[in-house]
Amino acid sequence: MPRLRRWAKRLGLLLLGLFAVLTAASVVYNFATRDTVKPATALYPGPFVHVDGKLVAYRRWGTRGTPIILLGGFIVPSSVWDYVGRILSRDHRVFALDLPPFGYTERKGPYTLRGWTDLVDAFERRFGLQRPVLVGHSLGAAVVVAD
């Protein structure tokens, strides 16, 4: 039994040391790269629009018909809707949003259902969309139901 305790103590100290080294490495990395963060506008050509105090990345297809807003899920950018957006654009104006903090939308909270529904409502107002059809997948579906 004392031998088992000794091994458990050594393993605990090893894990604690590993945790300390990884934490220190993370702090050093974050400090060293703090000025290298590129804005989303440098990574994605857009379009972007200022909505509700955030720079929101979105995609747009079509110019006429009932407006449709497509909302993706966790870690899903608006590009996932490219195929669907092109098909729906035959008869509709279609928009796909990058919900923060996913995709290229500015990463400002709150990351809550209320925050996301407020963002979608502000997006609708910004583009003058009257009674758009909201389509959501995963997190996007929760936002649609909450709106």
Structurally, at CATH architecture level, domain 40-146 sits in 3-Layer(aba) Sandwich (3.40)
The predicted-structure confidence for 86-137, as pLDDT tens digits, reads as follows 999 999 999 999 999 999 998 887 899 999 999 999 999 999 999 999 999 9
State the DSSP string of 5-71.
HHHHHHHHHHHHHHHHHHHHHHHHHHHHTTT-PPPHHHH----EEEETTEEEEEEEE-SSSSEEEEE
Sequence-separated (6 or more) residues with CB below 8 Å from residue 111: 100, 101
Confidence of residue 15 (pLDDT cuts 50, 70, 90): confident
In the predicted model, is pLDDT for residue 139 greater than 80? yes
Q: Mind listing the pLDDT tens digit for each residue in 62-95?
A: 999 999 999 999 888 999 999 999 999 999 999 9
CA 42 to chain centre: 17
Domains of the chain, residue spans: 1-37, 40-146
